[in-house]
Amino acid sequence: MPFGSLIHSSVSSVKATPGFVRPVVFAVSAGAFVTSAAAFYTNRDTLERRHVLESSSLWARRLLDRGLDPILAASRNTELVQRLQAYAEVAGRPGKVVLHTWTSMSETKRTQIGLIAIFGVVFTLWNMKSTRRFAVEYLWQSPLHSRTVTLLTSVFAHKTLPHLAFNSVALFTIGSSCSAYFDRMDCALPRSTSRYEYIAFFITAGVFASLASRLYSLTFLLRRPSAQLPSLGASGAIWGCFVVTALAFPQASVALIFLPFVPVPIGSACCAMLAVDILGVIRGWQMFDHVAHLGGAFFGLLYYVKGHTMFEQLRQYLLDS
């Protein structure tokens, strides 16, 4: 069956019940769940490592009372090396080289590579004939799709290799800077890692970008079937990372894909690209999901202003419970 026909039959096979309540409830619930899980695992990892190190008076005097503790962070890396050492020994010298390369990376970069690996797995599902129908039904966010879970799954889905490659490069660069900022944030509590908070932020930004796209389509495009285009990709989540990075590092410069050798102030680049997305919405351009980009960017702004503070308050609440 041709790919376009497969998409049409798949969307038609799901009862089209467009509405606002279910997608909003799903997005809020998903965001609350992953954020709560991130706060819980951040607390658990931090407390377990502090408990071990505080048994030594030498280490106890050096532990921080707030913020990312380098001693606790180093213990995570040491544990990772020990956990992978056995596999490296079996693989011989190549395994040791891979182990050294992997553990020499910062945790922020390893996190981006992990997300990109998920992109790769989902991309494979899109391009295997045996799983393509599943991919169309569960990985493609459509405004007429009654499956609200696609607000989440579509964040990790890329149908074409250029789409996958572009978002992977963008995530590795911008995502690493955003994640590094999470490490530097002023925290009310000590922490051993910012990985869990960053992953929760990334997922929630992507879900709310998808939600913005769906609500816009249901509000303004419902009577224009030709404009009801399914969407997918991590662009909305990456936009959230981009806005946080631009606000956190205003003196930084970036290289745009069409001007790779000309450094552009990140604030100017961010504003220019936002202007393009706004113009795209006004003009009805359909090459990109401009509303999803703007939704992710707005979520990034909100998180920069208030999100991290609320995350720390949630951590404190869980500790006191």
Which region among 162-171, 214-223, 298-307 has the lowest average model confidence (pLDDT)? 214-223
Task: Summarize pLDDT for 148-187 with one digit per residue, the tens.
Answer: 999 999 999 998 899 999 999 999 999 989 988 988 877 7
64: Cα separation from own chain's centroid: 28
* Residue 58, pLDDT above cutoff 50: no
Per-residue pLDDT at 257 = 64
Give percent above pLDDT 70 in the chain: 85
CA dihedral 69, 301, 202, 30 (to 10 degrees): 110
Which is higher by pLDDT, 2 or 301? 301
Tokens encoding 54: 């505080």
Per-residue pLDDT at 260 = 65
HSE value, Cβ hemisphere, 13 Å, CA-based, for 37: 14
| 68 bridge partner residues | 191
**Mean pLDDT across 207-228:** 79
Tokens encoding 111: 């996190």
Helix (H, G, I), strand (E, B) or coil at 190: strand
List CB contacts of 299: < 8 A, sequence separation 6 or more. 204, 205, 208, 209, 240
| 254 bridge partner residues | 264
pTM: 0.88
Domain 3-39+108-320 -> CATH class: mainly alpha
What CA–CA distance (Å, rounded) separates 49 from 54? 8
**Mean pLDDT across 117-121:** 96
* Residue 68, pLDDT above cutoff 60: yes
DSSP E strands: which ranges in 172-252?
Answer: 190-191
Per-residue pLDDT at 228 = 53
Tokens encoding 295: 């939704």
Extents of the domains making up the chain: 3-39+108-320
* Residue 11, pLDDT above cutoff 60: no
Per-residue pLDDT at 112 = 95
* Residue 114, pLDDT above cutoff 90: yes
Helix (H, G, I), strand (E, B) or coil at 236: helix
* Residue 225, pLDDT above cutoff 70: no
* Nearest by Cα to 266 from 274, 255, 258, 275: 255
Tokens encoding 88: 């490296």
